[in-house]
Structure 1
Amino acid sequence: MSRPMSDLAASGMFLPSQTVGTVLCCICGVPMAPNPANMCVGCLRSRIDITEGLPRHASLIHCPECLSYLHPPRTWIRADLESKELLSFCLRRLKSLTRHVRIVHAEFVWTEPHSKRIKLRLRVQREALNGAILEQSHLVEFTQHDHLCDSCSRFQANPDQWVAAVQLRQHVSHRRTFFYLEQLILRHGAAARALRIKETDRGVDFFFGNRSHAVKFVDFISNSVPVQSKSDKQLVSHDPKSNTYNYKHTFSVEICPICREDLICLPPKVAHALGSIGPLVLCTKVSNSLALLDPFTLRNAYLDAKQYWGTPFKALLSSRQLVEYIVLDVEMESTLITIGGSKYALAYVQVARMSDFGKNDNMFIVKTHLGHLLNAGDHALGYDIYGANMNDFEIEKYKGFDLPQAILVKKSYVEKRQRKRGKARPWKLKSLNMEVDTAVNGRIDEEKRNTEYEEFLRDLEENPELRFNISLYRNTDYQPSEIASTVGGDDLPGVDLNELIDVLTLTDEEDNRDSMN
């Protein structure tokens, strides 16, 4: 009787290792691992082409205006060059190919952007002789044929042939809200269906070729900032035979005139509804609701659009009236706390206006919510209540209320930024293609607009929460200076490079990877 294998191993006897058997290829006689065809890979590929009969050419209908592609019969799909959307669209156009082979990988092959060609390299698998599975590379070339879509065709025939218009307005003295909304619109593609965008004196007009697109855009704005909207329509034509009517629709959207960093004196009715907060509060954030903070008690509240427009009010002082102070002394009162994602700490601060510093002895001791940020010698921006001329009826309703001499809003980096004035940023923003309406005041003050845009960029650098919903892109033209690293090595706030998005650019580098036989 034979001994079991375990006993043989225990006795120290030699056991031969198990090897995989090989067979000879029936064509060339090369040793190989056995397969159902008994042929090596080279012989299989030389005799069987699994891509035979597969399409190598196809055509695409492309709209050069809106960069969309026609998906028959009438659907237009927007897709950028070499994007995931375009790759998925091209694969759907090759449905006949998937009936015969299995696609395991797909990628673009770079072509000249003006060649009207899109090349797609596929890795396909197919069952060959006697159940053997072969994998092979297959190249498909798409030819683009330019043809305007229906909306672009109507716009080219008559640029004023819009169906719905959205008039976005805000009655304030600056455009900071529109700069912020522009970035939100770009990130979410909310105005992708707009035929034309026009910048006006107090807002922006958006023109759409379909009423449903305008309604969707108004809903997006309503979810971004507190607004109230009205709609109207005007009869353009009427066909009594078919009983059809053509209207032009207009949506008037008014944005709440309260902006971030504004000082507000709440009406008694609103203050009571918010838990007797204030009455002097700061607006710390604007989304679909207003985030209000009492800088003296750190109590906060949120005011939505319905509550605001039920009892509307205006800002007591806006960010354009901020005054620069120098901090002389800081005495902490409370520990650091977090409210709505932001950190605050109460402190008593002795400050003096920069305009008075060295000229007189006017100093103020104020209570602030910026105790964790300020130190002696720092600069801060705040509202000069002591020297301001305020005629507000809401303050008069609070009898016996003592106004503070100053309200600090944020830490100032003006002194430090002067060292880096004129230097480029390592990041940049995209902008909408807007027409400028110069028929209202003759022309828009470009210098004022550039100043406000620069202030908006500084706010993005200083406030991480503000750039949370904004896409920042790498500035390819930026070159770091060695002088900048030695001069001004301070705590100047900036944007982390990890937050930046690389801009997709097409280069002349050819992909010379060898295709599989």
Structure 2
Amino acid sequence: MDFAGRPGGPIATTFTPQHTQGHVLCCLCGVSIPPNPSNMCVNCIRSQVDITEGLQKQVTILWCKECERYLQPPKHWVRAAIESKELLTFCIKRLKGLQKVKLVDAGFIWTEPHSRRLKVKLTIQAEVMNGAILQQTFVVEYVVEPHMCMDCTRANTNSNVWTACAQVRQHTGHKRTFFYLEQLILKYDVDQQCISIKDMHEGVDFFFSNRAHALKFIDFTQNHVPIKYRHDKQLVSHNEHASTYNYKYTFSVEIVPICRDDLVCLPPKAAASLGGFGPLALCTRVSNTLTLTDTQTLRSVQIDANTYWRYPYRPVVTSRQLVEFVVLDVEPAAPSQNSRFLLADVQVAKASDFGRNDRTFFVRTHLGHLLHAGDSALGYDMSTANTVEPELDAAVAKGLQVPDIILVRKSYEEKRRRRKARGEQRAWKLKRMAMEAEEEPGTSGRGRDARAAPRHEQDLERFMQELEEDPELRAKMALYRDPAYNPVAEAERRAAAMTDDEDGDVPEVPLEELLDDLAGLQLDEEEQEGAEQQNAGMQH
């Protein structure tokens, strides 16, 4: 038996070594620290490296005291309450260089509400020497400077104080061209620089505080509709000592008085300059140029503003003189090179002649790709039209054969009327500019609006129908979803109505082409929050 096993001997024990972390001395101050990649203590690292270097410590933000919104550059204004999450997010986004570090924490430091200062405490992390991670806290001061936004500026500006005025006019019996121009202005935010917009007879007046803004607006208009303009200036004041002059500038802009669906007769010089085109042609499209189409040959030409004003002419008949016809038979003619239209021989009869006589007409038209037997079409009855146009009389005297009937477009009026009677509505809407109505001498603006409202609504309805029928036209504009539209209810209503009549070929705007009205949604959310706060206060 060994010593450990003897009676009364010591008991055997097992030795377990303890592992302790080694320490090193800081290479700068000599303090014992746990080892790290830089072999420096935290205080020495902070004295050598500043991870907040390059970050702004003071930022200036613009705030509108009228609507209490903050400017998010370049031109978006956001609404945020004091010390809210929205305001904290806005302040963090305004800080440059923050993407180079990692943001750990952020919060407001209380400041006096009237000090025009916002202080945000930020905690960031960044990798420093040899991979060491350093965390640091610093404070950013935001200086709030008052700056009135454009919406509040227009609301508080005297409409009589303007420097430049663009008077846009078109001498026609409708305002569909101005509806088209209005949507383009809203899409590209051209109206942001307008002090005031006034709806006038045969046009619209745009007022600007700067002559350069008016020139920019005219250049935009010239790129989308054919126009000509001239300008005048009026001396307002003159400082003899400083030799300074203050002027008011007026730009007179005239849009070509030819609109879509108008029938024109070209003067001989204009027809000769176009290679013998016409002389009788139908206007099928209006952009920065006029597209004229010969409905008998499908030959098309484009006329810019300079060409038109060199040999100006007026329409022979306009869209207000369209007559409804019923298509009895359609026979396609020889194919043509025009991809938009198809030449066809059509037998039609006046809708007003049904039940009275059996008079029919054989017409050659460019609408062979749209018309079928039983459809309705709108056109001009040249045999009974009362026209006073010297150019047309001269062309007829030289041997021009004017067709008795000229079809212009397919008609969906009856089908749209049945849909409206069933209570169906559009899934989209258009935004409108805030315009002041012209007041006639001796009458109030309200009385003028009451007289002009029916014609204005008819023109707007026809413009919206053109958007539904022409995909190329609505591609240039912004159409928004109507929050009042219920797709489930509309689908059920149409499913029940399709058993009685077929209205499926009426053109509509696809839902995928519509945009969400963010301004309207934001307004609805604000109204809902206000209602909830009011209800909470009443319960309290």
Question: What band does the TM-score fall into relative to the shorter chain?
Answer: 0.7 to 0.9
Give a deviation string over 1:254-278, Cα, whole Å, max 9, x none: 1100001111111111111111111
> Any stretches of 5+ residues in structure 2 without a counterpart?
1-19, 24-34, 40-48, 80-86, 108-115, 530-540
Distance 1:490 1:157, change over 3 A: closer
Distance 1:142 1:319, change over 3 A: farther
Match of 1:487 among 497, 515, 531: 497
Does 2:539 align with 1:499? no
Match of 1:12 in 2: none
Mapping for residues 164-313 of structure 1, pairs under 5 Å:
164-313=164-313
Does 2:399 align with 1:400? yes
Preserved CA contact (<8 Å) 1:68 1:79: no
Amino acid at match of 2:515: I
Amino acid at match of 2:434: N
Which of the pair is proportionally richer in helix? 2
Match of 1:429 in 2: 430
Mapping for residues 95-494 of structure 1, pairs under 5 Å:
95=96, 98=97, 102=100, 126-128=126-128, 130-132=130-132, 146-148=146-148, 156=156, 158-335=158-335, 337-339=337-339, 343-398=340-395, 399-421=398-420, 422-439=423-440, 442=443, 443-444=448-449, 445-480=452-487, 481=490, 482-488=492-498, 489-494=503-508
**Distance (Å, rounded) in 1 between the aligned partners of 2:136 and 2:465:** 54
Q: Please identify, of 471-480 and 164-173, the stretch whose mean Cα deviation from structure 2 is larger.
A: 471-480
**Distance (Å, rounded) in 2 between the aligned partners of 1:437 and 1:205:** 10
Preserved CA contact (<8 Å) 1:68 1:78: no
Amino acid at match of 1:395: L
Preserved CA contact (<8 Å) 1:67 1:79: no
**Distance (Å, rounded) in 2 between the aligned partners of 1:383 and 1:105:** 71
Give a deviation string over 1:137-169, Cα, whole Å, max 9, x none: 999896865433699769836331100000010
**Distance (Å, rounded) in 1 between the aligned partners of 2:131 and 2:171:** 74
Distance 1:331 1:254, change over 3 A: same
Task: Give aligned-pair identity as a percent.
Answer: 48
**Distance (Å, rounded) in 2 between the aligned partners of 1:314 and 1:503:** 40
**Distance (Å, rounded) in 2 between the aligned partners of 1:302 and 1:25:** 87
SS in 2 for 1:438: coil
Match of 2:78 in 1: 81
Amino acid at match of 1:492: V
Amino acid at match of 2:174: H
Preserved CA contact (<8 Å) 1:120 1:140: yes
Give a deviation string over 1:85-125, Cα, whole Å, max 9, x none: x9999678534xx2x8616899xx9xxxxxx9999999976
So what's the TM-score if we normalise by structure 1? 0.77
Post-superposition offset of 1:460: 0.6
SS in 1 for 2:237: strand
Post-superposition offset of 1:383: 1.0
Amino acid at match of 2:208: F
**Distance (Å, rounded) in 1 between the aligned partners of 2:494 and 2:136:** 54
**Distance (Å, rounded) in 2 between the aligned partners of 1:356 and 1:55:** 80
**C-alpha root-mean-square deviation of aligned residues, in Å?**
4.2
Amino acid at match of 1:400: G
SS in 2 for 1:397: helix
**Distance (Å, rounded) in 2 between the aligned partners of 1:324 and 1:452:** 18
Preserved CA contact (<8 Å) 1:69 1:78: no
So what's the TM-score if we normalise by structure 2? 0.74
Post-superposition offset of 1:279: 1.4
Post-superposition offset of 1:384: 1.2
Amino acid at match of 1:414: E
Post-superposition offset of 1:438: 2.3
**Distance (Å, rounded) in 2 between the aligned partners of 1:377 and 1:462:** 19
Preserved CA contact (<8 Å) 1:268 1:397: no
Preserved CA contact (<8 Å) 1:201 1:440: no
Q: Please identify, of 203-212 and 128-137, the stretch whose mean Cα deviation from structure 2 is larger.
A: 128-137
SS in 1 for 2:276: coil
Distance 1:54 1:289, change over 3 A: closer
**Distance (Å, rounded) in 2 between the aligned partners of 1:119 and 1:380:** 69
**Distance (Å, rounded) in 1 between the aligned partners of 2:237 and 2:319:** 48
**Distance (Å, rounded) in 2 between the aligned partners of 1:244 and 1:216:** 24
Preserved CA contact (<8 Å) 1:336 1:372: no
Post-superposition offset of 1:336: 6.4
Match of 2:30 in 1: none
Preserved CA contact (<8 Å) 1:101 1:126: no
**Distance (Å, rounded) in 2 between the aligned partners of 1:191 and 1:312:** 30
**Distance (Å, rounded) in 2 between the aligned partners of 1:248 and 1:220:** 21
Amino acid at match of 2:213: H
Distance 1:137 1:190, change over 3 A: farther
SS in 1 for 2:217: helix
**Distance (Å, rounded) in 1 between the aligned partners of 2:176 and 2:255:** 12
Amino acid at match of 1:487: A
Preserved CA contact (<8 Å) 2:102 2:126: no
Aligned residues: 454
**Distance (Å, rounded) in 2 between the aligned partners of 1:167 and 1:103:** 54
Post-superposition offset of 1:450: 1.1
Distance 1:66 1:192, change over 3 A: farther
Post-superposition offset of 1:63: 3.6
SS in 1 for 2:472: coil
Q: Please identify, of 396-405 and 193-202, the stretch whose mean Cα deviation from structure 2 is larger.
A: 396-405
Preserved CA contact (<8 Å) 1:225 1:289: yes
Amino acid at match of 2:344: A
Q: Please identify, of 436-445 and 126-135, the stretch whose mean Cα deviation from structure 2 is larger.
A: 126-135
Relative contact order, higher structure (CA 8 A, sep 6+):
1
Post-superposition offset of 1:503: 1.9
Preserved CA contact (<8 Å) 2:70 2:77: no
Post-superposition offset of 1:198: 0.5
Match of 1:31 in 2: none
Amino acid at match of 2:63: H
> Any stretches of 5+ residues in structure 1 without a counterpart?
1-23, 28-33, 39-47, 110-115, 511-517
SS in 2 for 1:431: coil
